[in-house]
């Protein structure tokens, strides 16, 4: 059995591993990777101009190299995206004008304006605001209080801790629209603390598995479960002209998620090999009660955060305001009442990092859509993957292809941004029911991260606990993938039929 090397005495492991930590195991330095990427981009653009290649070819090639850099190097995502934006701008490869009548940009000044356009997209600001709302919930203490209350309720026997962690994740997913902030700042520390209190290796394995899969399931369960989820809705509206917003997402996920709520703990319990005899429920409950007692009654910050978040949820559910505007108003209210300060937002590097690279990636994808590239990739998928299939079979094959392609990515959001639009286009070409294929892509986006030990930041955090060898982690991930696919492809599809999705 493989084992992970424990940190030497004096060393510390960061609580929230960065994107680089997820791929550092591949052994390529940032410096070498950036030089290789930059050199390839320069050669590509010079050759492209010399050979008179169409702008679409240049944009697709740069996008492909950016994704390759994401997968194969430890270069930060923001640096990769900035390099791509500057390369395409200096090559004047952007398309200007409206989507209905695109044209080549007439000057570098005009091309530069296009490159900056991604930072004005509502989606970019929605993601930025979501990260900072999550930080506000963390700073107020509201998230920790809810976690302890649910933990106190579910700690009566070892098995019930699994559903307890799932419930905590699902509840906090409504309040914290970032799976890393939610899982890393709230749930993961609880898993580590409870594991140490219990002192049982099988229980540690059970809690690690449950905590990890709870995070993935909550990421797929809600529209704001993770950063990239709104991209699916945007793609669905663009490809099919349908609305797949907060209510549609929650309605479609409800029954499959409830089924998985009961099945996942059973799977994790069996894989972990828990021994009930060594479990001290009284100690766990005392720890939760003690921490709740130390927290005291609801603070003013917790009350304010609860009120503001409930108001945001009402606006999202009833579509009273644009989603991004709602999030920004909520964040502004948090600052006005003192739940969070501007200094906290200014120092929230994860929010600014996500804002920067997601804006750039979405812009490049939009440019590919404008140039017809996404449609071309979708047509290729239709011809190669699902040619001659019935619409339903085509939807399942495209969903399975999307799920298994997560092996090639180390970020849930980059996986979603890169493939959601092309596969939806392929589904449209194959005649797949719009809501059904959108649902498969949407719900597989989060849970597909179960396949590897490098699929996301939260994956690395749980894997770094060394409760499982690499072989075990990837094997158990494959077991979970089978469970996820079967539930969504059977229970999910039947439920979607009942609510009129196909």
34: pLDDT confidence band, cut at 50, 70 and 90? Answer: low
Average pLDDT value for residue range 8-34: 45
Domain match, 64 and 170 both: no
Model confidence at 15: pLDDT above 80:
no
- Identify the pLDDT of residue 37: 59
Domain match, 392 and 450 both: yes
- Identify the pLDDT of residue 448: 94
DSSP 407: G
**Could you give the angle at the alpha carbon of 283 between the alpha carbons of 280 and 288, nearest 5°?**
130
Domain match, 88 and 147 both: no
- Identify the pLDDT of residue 125: 86
Domain match, 150 and 260 both: yes
- Identify the pLDDT of residue 319: 72
Both structure tokens of 485: 């696919």
Q: 3-state class of 435 per DSSP?
A: helix
Give the CB-side neighbour count of residue 228, counting CA atoms within 13 A.
23
- Averaging pLDDT over each range in 18-22, 324-328, 337-341, 427-431, which range is the top one? 337-341
Residue 455 Ramachandran class (φ > 0 left, ψ -120 to 50 alpha, else beta): alpha
Both structure tokens of 332: 């502004």
- Find tokens 């050759």 and name the residue: 47
- Whole-angstrom CA distances from 81 to 43, 88, 112, 122 are 18, 11, 15, 19
Domain match, 451 and 415 both: yes
- Whole-angstrom CA distances from 420 to 122, 375, 377, 415 are 19, 12, 11, 8
- Identify the pLDDT of residue 331: 94
State the Rg of the chain over Cα: 23
CB 169 within 8 A of CB 308: no
- Identify the pLDDT of residue 439: 95
Asked whether residue 61 is domain-assigned, the answer is: yes
Domain match, 171 and 216 both: yes
Both structure tokens of 475: 């094997």
Residue 263 CB partners (closer than 8 Å, separation 6+): 483, 487
Model confidence at 310: pLDDT above 90:
no
Model confidence at 19: pLDDT above 60:
no
Largest Cα–Cα separation, the chain: 74
Asked whether residue 307 is domain-assigned, the answer is: no
Model confidence at 92: pLDDT above 90:
no
Asked whether residue 25 is domain-assigned, the answer is: yes
Q: What is the pLDDT of residues 145-185, one digit of tens each?
A: 876 787 788 878 888 888 988 988 898 887 777 787 677 76
Domain match, 423 and 459 both: yes
DSSP 267: H
Domain match, 171 and 85 both: no
Asked whether residue 99 is domain-assigned, the answer is: no
**Count of structural domains within the chain:** 2
More reliable by pLDDT, 197 or 315? 315
CA distance 190 to 198: 12
Asked whether residue 355 is domain-assigned, the answer is: no
Q: 3-state class of 103 per DSSP?
A: strand
CA distance 153 to 167: 11
Asked whether residue 328 is domain-assigned, the answer is: no
CB 210 within 8 A of CB 264: yes
More reliable by pLDDT, 14 or 285? 285
CA dihedral of 217, 218, 219, 225, whole degrees rounded to 10: 160
**Residue among 93, 89, 45 at smallest CA distance from 65:** 45
Asked whether residue 357 is domain-assigned, the answer is: no
Length of the chain: 502
CA distance 419 to 425: 10
More reliable by pLDDT, 117 or 336? 336
CA distance 189 to 166: 15
Residue 53 Ramachandran class (φ > 0 left, ψ -120 to 50 alpha, else beta): beta
Domain match, 224 and 289 both: yes
Model confidence at 22: pLDDT above 90:
no
- Identify the pLDDT of residue 298: 92
pTM here is 0.69
Domain match, 146 and 65 both: no
**Residue among 439, 500, 496, 411 at smallest CA distance from 240:** 439
Both structure tokens of 262: 């009961």
CA distance 497 to 395: 14
Domain match, 386 and 430 both: yes
Q: 3-state class of 297 per DSSP?
A: coil
Domain match, 174 and 64 both: no
2: pLDDT confidence band, cut at 50, 70 and 90? Answer: very low
Model confidence at 236: pLDDT above 50:
yes
Residue 155 CB partners (closer than 8 Å, separation 6+): 161, 164, 281, 284, 285, 288
Asked whether residue 337 is domain-assigned, the answer is: no
Average model confidence (pLDDT) across the chain: 82
- Identify the pLDDT of residue 374: 67
323: pLDDT confidence band, cut at 50, 70 and 90? Answer: confident
Provide the domain limits for residue 238.
Answer: 142-298+372-498
């Amino acid at each position: 059995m493989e084992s992970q090397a424990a940190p030497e005495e004096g060393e510390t492991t960061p609580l929230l591993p960065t994107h680089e930590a997820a791929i550092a195991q591949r052994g390529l330095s940032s410096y070498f990777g950036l030089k290789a990427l930059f050199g390839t981009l320069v050669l590509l653009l010079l050759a492209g101009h010399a050979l008179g290649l169409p702008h679409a070819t240049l944009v697709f090639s740069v996008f492909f190299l950016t994704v390759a850099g994401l997968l194969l190097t430890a270069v930060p995502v923001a640096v990769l995206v900035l390099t791509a934006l500057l390369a395409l701008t200096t090559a004047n490869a952007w398309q200007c004008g409206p989507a209905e009548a695109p044209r080549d940009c007439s000057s570098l000044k005009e091309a530069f304006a296009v490159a900056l356009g991604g930072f004005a997209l509502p989606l970019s600001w929605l993601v930025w605001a979501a990260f900072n709302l999550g930080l506000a919930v963390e700073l107020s203490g509201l998230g920790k209080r809810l976690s302890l209350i649910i933990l106190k309720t579910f700690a009566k026997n070892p098995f019930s801790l699994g559903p307890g962690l799932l419930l905590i994740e699902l509840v906090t997913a409504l309040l914290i629209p970032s799976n890393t902030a939610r899982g890393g700042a709230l749930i993961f520390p609880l898993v580590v603390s409870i594991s140490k209190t219990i002192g049982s290796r099988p229980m540690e394995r059970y809690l690690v598995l449950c905590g990890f899969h709870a995070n993935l399931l909550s990421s797929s369960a809600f529209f704001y479960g993770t950063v990239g989820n709104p991209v699916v809705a945007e793609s669905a509206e663009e490809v099919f002209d349908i609305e797949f917003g907060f209510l549609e997402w929650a309605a479609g996920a409800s029954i499959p998620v409830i089924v998985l709520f009961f099945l996942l703990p059973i799977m994790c319990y069996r894989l972990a090999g828990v021994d009930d005899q060594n479990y001290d429920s009284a100690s766990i409950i005392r720890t939760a009660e003690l921490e709740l007692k130390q927290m005291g009654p609801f603070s003013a910050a917790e009350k304010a955060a609860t009120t503001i978040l409930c108001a945001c949820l009402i606006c999202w559910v009833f579509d009273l305001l644009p989603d991004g505007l709602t999030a920004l108003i909520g964040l502004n209210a948090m600052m006005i009442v003192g739940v969070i300060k501007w200094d906290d937002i200014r120092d929230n590097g994860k929010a600014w990092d996500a804002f920067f690279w997601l804006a750039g990636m979405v812009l490049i994808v939009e440019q590919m859509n404008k140039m017809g590239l996404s449609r071309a990739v979708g047509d290729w998928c239709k011809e190669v993957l699902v040619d001659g299939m019935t619409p339903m079979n085509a939807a399942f094959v495209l969903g399975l292809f999307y799920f298994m392609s997560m092996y090639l990515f180390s970020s849930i959001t980059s996986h979603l941004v890169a493939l959601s639009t092309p596969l939806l286009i392929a589904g449209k070409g194959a005649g797949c029911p719009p809501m059904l294929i959108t649902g498969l892509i949407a719900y597989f986006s989060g849970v597909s991260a179960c396949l590897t030990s490098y699929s996301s930041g939260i994956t690395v955090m749980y894997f770094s606990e060394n409760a499982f060898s690499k072989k075990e982690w990837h094997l158990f991930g494959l077991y979970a993938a089978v469970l996820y696919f079967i539930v969504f492809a059977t229970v999910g599809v039947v439920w979607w039929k009942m609510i009129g999705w196909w």
